[in-house]
Structure 1
């Protein structure tokens, strides 16, 4: 597979919590428009070696840790900053050990780098956590993948054709409450982009409110006949978890994943708006009455994305989680296999994207990237055996970024320098 395809695949749904189709230079909220399009220009096959030699000549790898210098990785991080993003934190585990580094700034106006394991809003990476808990309930016999969701949640008024499996692989046809784009036609949803989101970013939502809003719209397609990414699916999954366990989603996440794996930097914040502990600041650029404005959106209320994109985590915790998941510590082998089985035009399993990058890049990777409405992005990749993982946090600054050109180049360079290299 070509490196440009790698970058295109890596872009898919990174910022999938919002509505595509915004202006080309509308800040990171517009990245969604580039993700599905797959426009990407990756560096040449020798870029990593060239970068390594050039950086070695300049001496050292500032910002890196974990006991080894890998200047090609630091330069890949710097490419995001050079493209106009605020900062990036990276954690890579491969056959050479672990490498941790950061680039950019923690906060605009300050020279301090982002913390290498700072707290971050992880957006749709949350979906993999949610899917894992749902599949644990399947393993316990409390839920059946091909049963009608309406049988478990009769009060919602869901179409009886919608199954649990359809929720987890985005084939239910449920309208996406943050805004829907299907077959080139866009429909607005709850405030999730631009000035509307900025003015409503501290608003609290209940999961039932989000689902009822989605159900006030017609199905996008008949259940099971197509595939289209929808946050609604995973908020319904949250309600399933709560109904079948008798506990809140946050309690079940703590009990089943966060506490057993000792994910000390991970939480389900509910209506809390503050990132606890060390963190980098994220910014949002938007238009107001024809004037461009920038606002610090580090504080935001992600009850808007309950079960679908509301979690806080760190690069270390994401690495621990995806490694545990891939090595069978969270699910029995048959259900893990189903989770990793790609389906439809999105190549989406049950809470995971499946990407075959070819033998030169280590074969198949399992990933879920994400972002809340503004300020932050997260990356999470792993091989099937968990031996190679990449987790990252990206924050935005105040630059006027040409996202269709610059962001794919930076991401392509990062994926080339990490997933498509080996010790040989």
Structure 2
């Protein structure tokens, strides 16, 4: 879920798989925009922690028993003083996976496919292992090689498509077809027997995209719009496919990387996200993510039986965000907090996103983090800043 939001394509932490975060230390924080006249200095301070850690900017939105609060910290653009807009668009990275999982589970609810049905027969052109089921795709237990590169416990890496450094910068407007990404993956051996273990693989969610398109006869973007975006009135959410643009308003995102012994910073607000496809290509706002995730957790998008399946986690999937279910993490924040929270954060080069909710959808936290040009690596300070934010919102600290 990106060093200037650069890192492992697998994640904010390599172990998780959501592209690591990293960015710019920028002086100064803009004053918050408080909903309904609220003054929430503790939330503004928590947002400031991310800027102090080296990120370029942050948008934060919290809804709880006190109402809704929005604020921002840092700057909208390097060299400027304007703060990030609290209604700004951003790339949500692997948060996209939660939307993709919801679409697939809606098709399960309609009886178009079973959760434990093998997918190879629906997509015969790829030669997928016939033991791989829908559930395995959504929970990362398929064993499929990660097309963005496979990171192993011993520290070794098998490269996939370029997603970092000068090679990615040079190809950041290149278009990849989803089928191309899946074929790259299936050309590699399975990491393990399907269902035997857990490994975060972006390819699982590209296969899920193609499955949605096969079952419905429509593009992923059309089904997303028909099933989620329009019913929930998410006016600022889209699946851009290969479109490199960014709707206004937005804060600029920067990618910092090393090449030939020199550090460089490039504005990557505009980039072609087809290399990550439905595993991380979506654009949204903190407001739309809040509306969506609250609706999902409160049962407005899936029947209770499938929402329960979504929350069944795999014991080998522990990470900074908890344990992985079907397209989301379940995290226990410990004593003195609300208890369990659901989440799926994400990152892309230059961007990070946060999306949290209580199980009933009543308390939510959504945020965008943008990269800058700090010499320090904010990925190192990210876990502490995130923990402080979660404790502030969900534990009353």
Scaled by the length of structure 1, the TM-score of the pair is 0.86
Contact 2:101–2:326 (CA<8 Å) still a contact in 1? yes
How far residue 328 of structure 1 moved from its aligned partner, in angstroms, is 0.7
Higher mean C-alpha deviation, range 26-35 or range 115-124: 26-35
**Residue 257 of structure 1: aligned partner:** 228
Deviation at 1:376, TM superposition (A): 0.4
Could you tell me how far 1:160 is from its partner in structure 2? 0.5
Asked if 1:369 corresponds to 2:345, the answer is yes
Q: 1:357 aligns with which of 324, 333, 343?
A: 333
Residue in structure 2 matched with residue 141 of structure 1 by the alignment: 111
Aligned pairs, number: 377
Say whether the 8 Å CA contact 2:5–2:347 is kept in structure 1: no
Taking the aligned partners of 1:405 and 1:134, their CA distance within structure 2 comes to 35
- Deviation larger for 402-411 or 257-266: 402-411
CA-to-aligned-CA distance 1:189-214 (integer Å, 9 cap, x gap): 10111111111111101110010011
> How do residues 300-379 of structure 1 correspond to structure 2 at under 5 angstroms?
300-346=271-317, 347-372=323-348, 374-379=349-354
Q: Distance in 1 between matches of 2:220 and 2:11?
A: 31
Q: Is the 8 A contact 1:226 1:344 kept in 2?
A: no
Question: 1:30 — aligned with what?
Answer: 7
Superposed, which structure 2 residues align to 1:5-20 within 5 Å? Answer: 14=1
State the match for 1:170 in structure 2.
140
**Whole-Å separation in 2 of the counterparts to 1:403 and 1:272:** 29
User: 1:413 Cα shift?
Assistant: 2.0
The one of 42, 47, 58 aligned to 1:77: 47
The answer to whether the 8 A contact 1:173-1:223 is kept is yes
Q: Find the residue that maps to 1:307 and give its secondary structure.
A: helix
The whole-number CA distance in structure 1 between the counterparts of 2:208 and 2:102 is 11
- Secondary structure (helix, strand or coil) at the match of 1:276 reads coil
Is 1:293 aligned to residue 264 of structure 2? yes
Compute the displacement of 1:81 (Å): 1.1
Q: Quick one: distance in 1 between partners of 2:236 and 2:11? A: 31
Residue 27 of structure 1 contacts residue 401 of structure 1 at CA under 8 Å; is this kept in 2? no
Aligned pairs for 1:94-133 (under 5 A) are 94-133=64-103
Q: 1:348, 1:413 → 2: CA distance?
A: 22
Which residue of the other structure, out of 195, 206, 209, is the alignment partner of 1:238?
209
SS in 2 for 1:149: coil
CA distance in 2: counterparts of 1:298 and 1:221, whole angstroms: 37
| Equivalent in 221, 225, 245 of residue 196 of structure 2 | 225
- 1:62 maps to 31
1:101 alignment partner, SS class? strand
Structure 1 stretches of 4+ with a deviation exceeding 6 A read 31-34
| Matching residue of 1:215 | 186
For the Cα contact (< 8 Å) 1:124–1:369, is it kept in 2? Answer: yes
Q: What is the aligned-residue RMSD (CA, Å)?
A: 1.7
Structure 1 residues 314 and 404, CA, compared in 2 at 3 Å: closer, same or farther? closer
Contact 1:182 1:220 in 2 (8 A): no
Deviation of the 1:34 alpha carbon: 6.6
- TM-score normalized by the length of structure 2: 0.92
**5+ long unaligned stretches in structure 1:** 1-13, 16-25, 39-59
d(CA) in 2 for partners of 1:243, 1:34: 31
Answer yes or no: is the 8 Å Cα contact 2:5–2:254 preserved in 1: no
Structure 2 unaligned residues grouped into runs of 5+: 17-28, 318-322
Counterparts in 2 of 1:265 and 1:33: CA distance versus 1, 3 Å? closer
Q: Distance in 1 between matches of 2:157 and 2:394?
A: 34
Q: In the aligned structure 1, how far is the partner of 2:334 from the partner of 2:316?
A: 19
Offset of residue 405 of structure 1: 3.7
**In the aligned structure 2, how far is the partner of 1:418 from the partner of 1:188?**
38
CA displacement at 1:356 relative to structure 2: 1.3
Q: Which residue of 1 aligns with 2:389?
A: 414
Is the 1:64–1:74 contact (alpha carbons within 8 Å) kept by the matching residues of 2?
Answer: no
Offset of residue 62 of structure 1: 1.6
Relative to structure 1, is the Cα distance of residues 61 and 396 closer, same or farther in structure 2, using a 3 angstrom cutoff? closer
Specify which structure has the higher proportion of helix. Answer: 1
Q: Deviations over 1:137-178 (max 9, x none)?
A: 001010111111102111110000111100000000000001
**Aligned equivalents of 1:188, 1:344: Cα separation in 2:** 27
